[in-house]
Structure 1
Amino acid sequence: MTAGRHAVVLGAGIAGLLAARVLSEEFARVTILERDRCEGVQARRGVPQGRHLHGLLDSGRAVFEELYPGCTAELVRRGATAAEVLVHTRWYVGGARLVPTSTGLTSVIASRPLLEAVLRRRTCQIPNVRMREGITVRGLLGDADAVTGVATVADGRAEDITADLVVDATGRGSRIEEWLTDIGAAVPDTERLDVDLGYSSRLYRHRPGQLGGHSSVIVSTGTNGRGGGAVHIEGDRWLVTLAGMLGDHPPADPAEFPRYAATLSAPDIHEIVTDSEPLDDPVPYRFRASLRRHFDRMTAVPGGLLVIGDAQCAFNPLYAQGMTVAALQAAALRTCLDGAPATLAARFYAASADPVAAAWRLAASSDLSHPGVIGPRSLRTRLTNVYVAQVQRAAHHDPVVSRTFMRVAHLVEPPAALTHPVTAGRIMLRGSGFAYTRATPS
């Protein structure tokens, strides 16, 4: 740990907490600045998606566990569910259920507020980490060569906070382009993919035996752009989220909610909705576009500034990649802390480029499989989507393909795993209409 060095993290969401945890190993002081007041297990105003379904992929859970040993067990003690993916959860992709099989993957099923609360408590217990709430960041201090802190305001009083490193983890609403322009620095190229996704979520009372005892069901968006999920979270509740792309958004009207659920490509969510006691009214949420800021392509970035999590790359939330990619970025940051401080930003963007790019390609290709999504469809993208459709058809019947597909989706294995000769042979055979004989999944 370098004596006297101070890191300031903007935002106490998942990305900010993970960054603060990592930086506490190298910096003498780490200060987290958060606009909201964070109290217990509650949805925050600054996280409008906080009341909706969140997924932590297994590669992200592994990073959580490395940085916070016993994190999974603590979440379970506080009411979360831990389940073997595909064995104790149901996944419908491409219009049918993926065949149940062991994947070696664990799903931790909890609400976003509970995940944040556990990480926040563990992070704030670190002696050299301090969290300050009710603070709004107005901009960066410094110039195009180096950021030296942030300008803030709290309770009407302005305060400049100096730092050796500033980490922007303010999420999808980040004002980083504006802040960089204000200090005369270049801004990154931005990639945008408009999907106009809408969510509507509602809580229901969970009853034993529902969904055959399984912990969750996910129905991917089908040809009509509609999908959803139901997950068994803490408090013995179902959190049900319905989703629709390209402006076809699910209703917030309680009477219309089950009707929309009935239009999904599998009946499981509709059965939960119509067979459970509702605990609140539906809550809507809108996500207009995926956004990727290409700091990795910049020839020069200001020293003393890192951008992480959704502030760097905001993924379509349908694919549950955001928290996991933030975790993989934090792990990459950890490997970059040894070395000259002046080149930390360049090292970080290079080290984190692969997991960000891999997740972006998976999500963007899936979005572009919907004809109404406007975006460049290269020959590679078109061929990829044809092959992915075959993968999905094969995964409805073939346990090897089902397992590999899910491990790729969880960012545990690279997409190339689906082109391994043995796996590709099974995909071409079973994904082309071959009737693979197998008992009906339970």
Structure 2
Amino acid sequence: MKFCAEGHAVVVGAGPAGLFAARVLADVFERVTVVERDGTGDEQRRGVPQSGHAHDFLIRGHRIAEELFPGLGEELVAGGAHAGDIGRDMRWVIAGRPLVKGDSGLSTVVSSRTFRERHLRARVEVLPRVTVLGGQDVEGLSFSEDGSVVDGVLLAGDKGGKLAADLVVDASGRGSRTPVWLEEHGHGRVEEEKLKVDVGYATRIVRAPADVFAGDVCVNVLASPDSPRGGACQRVEGDRVVVTLYGVLGDHPPVDPEGFNAFAKSLAAPDIHEVLEVSEPLSAARRYRFPAALRRRYESMDSFPRGLLVLGDAVCSLNPRYGQGMAFAAMQASALSDHLRAEEQLPEPDVYFRRLAEQAVDPVWGMTLLSDLSFPGVQGERTPEMLEALELVGRTQFAATFDGQLALSCLRVFGLLDPPTVLLDPAIQERVHKTLSRQPV
């Protein structure tokens, strides 16, 4: 791109989406300032109430992070995180049956969210073009007189005032105030889509003997329409284990020790309960509730100011039970990077939002929508094509509990490397049919 040397970009939010955005913006702008409401040294940030729960870093996100921050995975492992092959070292249980295990050639790193975010932030903070302002809230956007251009942000508090910028990127999360500010300045209301899932989490930290994992770095017992409770059990840094249980449509796990363990015992497979049975509790259980997935259709707006882009959960907030959030943020930052490289001037918002939708939001939103609507109690339209796809994907996942090649196909979809439509390929469906026809009735 051909920005002037003194070009300045401001990123609102220092979560993973904001940190990934700052990294790609630093390739283009002379200065990048990240403004974060919470103190950047806080372990549990007020703006991220879900940070203490189990977090996956799906293989797609891990790959993008390694491209942006070479050696990050090795750095995390050196600090105590656990690397593992997603097919060999991670246990995936669907409808009570484990997927067939085997070498996939696809590795990622398992850690707590706070640990990973701290390392990402440290990598960003040492970039010579980037400054991180912690403990500083943004109370508004600065617009040109006619409202057609955003030329900075308005900072709150004693350090308040205008922070001028050539480009503002809002990565402030689901609670982003950009929709309100746009409407106040005459740009209309952004269309929103919601899918009510009412997912509830409960998480506690324990210490467990390594041998109870049988060599695995994590255990994922996935909820299914027949068994709408699930959980994740992850070995993380500090010789700790993060145990997260969840239920959909209001069936939420309790936080008292007896109720928590009983909920784990009720899952379709005993794996997580077996870990809890031999574990030493290190924390009380914490709960988190996610009422609905949310997508803001910025690409459909008739009016949008230049000088402003939106990214991360501020655009699309996914059902967290799929563990896609951090990888999704990385995918969106990758789309931003592609957009910046393709443009010859300050990015056009409509072109950016179309690219973001095509490269990142459409495929992941569609994937989670399909999975959420497999639960009969989730309200939403189910077309005949969708019902057929749900049946075929379900059969494929069941067949993957008998066939390693099908298991790898499923894991590539789980990891956002492939879209779920690959599971509908005639060659895969033929293998599914042959696999299931060999099983006893």
TM-score by length of 2: 0.95
**Aligned residues of 1:226 and 1:264 also touching (Cα < 8 A):** yes
Aligned residue in 2 for 1:103: 104
| 1:237-276 pair list within 5 angstroms | 237-276=240-279
Deviation (angstroms), 1:46: 1.1
Deviation (angstroms), 1:336: 1.3
Aligned residue in 2 for 1:129: 130
Deviation (angstroms), 1:369: 0.7
- 1:153 corresponds to which letter in structure 2? A
Cα distance in structure 2, aligned partners of 1:380 and 1:95: 27
**Aligned residues of 1:404 and 1:418 also touching (Cα < 8 A):** yes
The unaligned stretches of length 5 or more in structure 1 are: 437-442
Aligned residue in 2 for 1:208: 210
Q: 2:175 is matched with which residue: 169, 173, 176? A: 173
Cα distance in structure 1, aligned partners of 2:54 and 2:109: 12
Deviating above 4 A after TM superposition, structure 1's stretches of 4 or more consecutive aligned residues are none
Q: 1:326 is matched with which residue: 323, 329, 338? A: 329
Deviation (angstroms), 1:255: 2.2
Cα distance in structure 2, aligned partners of 1:2 and 1:346: 22
Matched, 1:277 2:280: yes
**Aligned residues of 1:141 and 1:183 also touching (Cα < 8 A):** no
Cα distance in structure 2, aligned partners of 1:190 and 1:374: 16
Cα deviation 1:111-166 (Å, max 9, x = unaligned): 000111011000010111001111111111115421111112134x5311111111
- 2:12 corresponds to which letter in structure 1? L
Deviation (angstroms), 1:341: 3.6
- 1:235 corresponds to which letter in structure 2? G
**Aligned residues of 2:26 and 2:130 also touching (Cα < 8 A):** yes
- 1:359 corresponds to which letter in structure 2? V
Aligned residue in 2 for 1:440: none
Cα deviation 1:47-100 (Å, max 9, x = unaligned): 101000111111110110000000000010111111001211100123311111
Matched, 1:413 2:425: no
**Aligned residues of 1:206 and 1:276 also touching (Cα < 8 A):** yes
SS in 2 for 1:49: coil
Q: 2:374 is matched with which residue: 369, 376, 379? A: 369
Report how many aligned residue pairs link the two structures.
Answer: 434
Cα distance in structure 1, aligned partners of 2:408 and 2:67: 24
Aligned residue in 1 for 2:142: 141
**Aligned residues of 1:336 and 1:344 also touching (Cα < 8 A):** no
**Aligned residues of 2:340 and 2:347 also touching (Cα < 8 A):** no
Cα distance in structure 2, aligned partners of 1:85 and 1:217: 11
SS in 2 for 1:27: coil
Matched, 1:158 2:160: yes
| 1:21-420 pair list within 5 angstroms | 21-39=23-41, 42-142=43-143, 144-155=147-158, 157-222=159-224, 223-338=226-341, 339-354=343-358, 355-420=360-425
Higher alpha-carbon deviation: 27-36 or 332-341: 332-341
Cα distance in structure 2, aligned partners of 1:105 and 1:332: 22
Cα deviation 1:270-295 (Å, max 9, x = unaligned): 01111100001000000010001112
Cα distance in structure 1, aligned partners of 2:76 and 2:5: 34
**Aligned residues of 1:393 and 1:430 also touching (Cα < 8 A):** no
- 1:121 corresponds to which letter in structure 2? A
SS in 1 for 2:284: coil
Cα distance in structure 2, aligned partners of 1:131 and 1:418: 43
TM-score by length of 1: 0.95
Cα distance in structure 2, aligned partners of 1:396 and 1:102: 15
Relative to structure 1, the CA distance from residue 295 to residue 428 in structure 2 (aligned partners, 3 Å threshold; closer, same or farther) is farther
Q: 2:7 is matched with which residue: 5, 11, 33? A: 5
Question: What root-mean-square deviation, in Å, do the aligned CA atoms of Structure 1 and Structure 2 show?
Answer: 1.6
Cα distance in structure 2, aligned partners of 1:361 and 1:187: 23
**Aligned residues of 1:164 and 1:304 also touching (Cα < 8 A):** yes
Relative to structure 1, the CA distance from residue 388 to residue 94 in structure 2 (aligned partners, 3 Å threshold; closer, same or farther) is farther
**Aligned residues of 1:140 and 1:183 also touching (Cα < 8 A):** no
Deviation (angstroms), 1:237: 0.7
Cα distance in structure 1, aligned partners of 2:65 and 2:363: 20
Matched, 1:423 2:428: yes
**Aligned residues of 1:287 and 1:316 also touching (Cα < 8 A):** yes
Cα deviation 1:367-388 (Å, max 9, x = unaligned): 1111111111122221111111
Relative to structure 1, the CA distance from residue 343 to residue 128 in structure 2 (aligned partners, 3 Å threshold; closer, same or farther) is closer
- 1:376 corresponds to which letter in structure 2? E
Give % identity: 42
Deviation (angstroms), 1:342: 4.4
Cα distance in structure 2, aligned partners of 1:254 and 1:114: 26
Cα distance in structure 1, aligned partners of 2:125 and 2:383: 46
**Aligned residues of 2:367 and 2:419 also touching (Cα < 8 A):** no
**Aligned residues of 2:142 and 2:150 also touching (Cα < 8 A):** yes
**Aligned residues of 1:103 and 1:407 also touching (Cα < 8 A):** no
Deviation (angstroms), 1:358: 1.0
- 1:124 corresponds to which letter in structure 2? E
SS in 1 for 2:132: strand
SS in 2 for 1:405: helix
Cα distance in structure 1, aligned partners of 2:314 and 2:78: 31
- 1:99 corresponds to which letter in structure 2? V
Cα distance in structure 1, aligned partners of 2:391 and 2:141: 46
The unaligned stretches of length 5 or more in structure 2 are: none
